[in-house]
Structure 1
Amino acid sequence: MTQILQIGSKVIQAHEVLSLLRRYQLMPQIVRNIILDQAIADISCTEEERRVAVEKFYQQHQLTSPQAQEAWLRTQGMSLEQMEDLAVRPVLLEKFKIATWESKVDAYFLNRKASLDRVVYSLIRNKDQGLTQEIYFRILEGEQCFADLAREYSQGAEASRGGLLGPVPLNQPHPTLSKLLSVSQPGQLWPPRALGEWFVIIRLEEFIPAKLDESMRRHLIDEQFENWLLLQIQQVSVSWSVLPSSSLLAS
């Protein structure tokens, strides 16, 4: 048998590697990283970018002395060049993301805007239709405030917050509620309506439109990247085979 790794007293033979990858669920991570390596294969960085990336890597891993760096390399089984390649990998990935998806952000934002807009709203839900109707008129006539009535009568987790929910993406609530909120003005109170086993009262408190600022742009680039990566992982084929010992010895 061919020994390829020893960890303490444990000797790992070549034929055991696939079993270990399965046992420790490492294949998805390996597939992901192979796809990324292929994606960034033709992307380069400057010497200054490489130097900064390595320095940042040292700081993140608290490798502040040559001794610490050497110890880390021994533990990881890496050469200095391999460690530097690992350190610069995020820089190459960032360049890949920008080159691939930055020009698509504006259109993607418009397509996603309905789910990026956020709302703050108040909700009361109760299984008693008559009581819910009475609560609605109390709020409408100003007899009691929404928050007090929510704390007393709402039968969901929102009761502890006086019925107040959000900010949340506009598409996060139940579709019926999302539709009402999308056509509401702040402060608009909707009459009770059936929603499954509940009767609900809803009021929009605040509408927070999504803005394509730098933070949102960064988020959407990352989102497009993750969507692409997930698709690549789903489409890739992984074949399992074990070479005979004689082939391993010959190699």
Structure 2
Amino acid sequence: MKPILRLFLVLGVLLAACPVGAAEVVDRVVAVVNGQAVTMFELNQHMRPLLDRFRGRELTAEEKAAIVKMRSDLLQKIVDEMLINQEVEKLGLTATDAEVQSSVERFYKQNAMTAEDFDKQLLLEGMTREQFADSVRKDILKHRLLGFMVRRKVVVSDEEVKAYYEKHIDSFQKDKEIGLSVILLPSNDDAEALRQRIQKGEITFADAANLYSRGPGVGQGGSLGRVAWADLAPDWHESLEGLRPGDMTKPFDFRGHTALLRVDELQSGQTRPLEEVMEEIRDRLFGEQAEARFSEYMEKLRADAVIEIKL
């Protein structure tokens, strides 16, 4: 099984609701955030990964409408990132090169990869190590901002921990393993439409993975093989909770992609006692509540900022 590369780069969409290959004649400003401009060129750079997918054919009316919405959504993500960066600069938060390098190394070692394996996986994902490191740096700074402005407002009680344990008891099994297949797509709209086609029997999950996925397992039906439940990301746990072999998750966000998972097999283990997992659950709930507070914080940043959208 090839480890899953947790993508940090925001994937783009097509640059306009027109046949691929058309170009902007003149670069222009598409947004201004507290006096800082976003240009069409910058927006197009984020869109570039999808150009090859549609190259050489006319877009349908549905695709054109979806692209307009996706381009608007992407611009909002860029604006939010600018607001975060402005706050990071205002507060003087930094991440050293050594910290970034340590995080990169920890990432690929935790995923059982050598440095060479990691570079090969980056190549498959269309990223350079420098791009990945830049995304790691931004992630570190975002979490520092989160800690500085948000985390101090979050408290998780013992009662909340116990309630979560009882609701997700199946998740706390020693040596639990799960066989998975995955499809990674650029947008939720694409993923939901594909999920409906799979459910209707119009296409198999394996064929859909081979044709459309931008993640690992392409050519093998999206198969990741059998993995330890404990090694999966928390958002994967939430999406897979209660599913049985043959079941498929609903689309969920995964580091700039939208993911669909199918359970291929499931091997249970012994249930871990509450005392053993209490701090693990507390950390998970803390993270969820912190993200909720962060969303509220972002809403305040947007409300206080001077933002002009010219797209």
Provide the TM-score with structure 2 as the length reference. 0.32
Q: Which has the higher helix share?
A: 1
Structure of larger gyration radius: 1
Higher relative contact order (CA 8 A, sep 6+): 2
Provide the TM-score with structure 1 as the length reference. 0.38
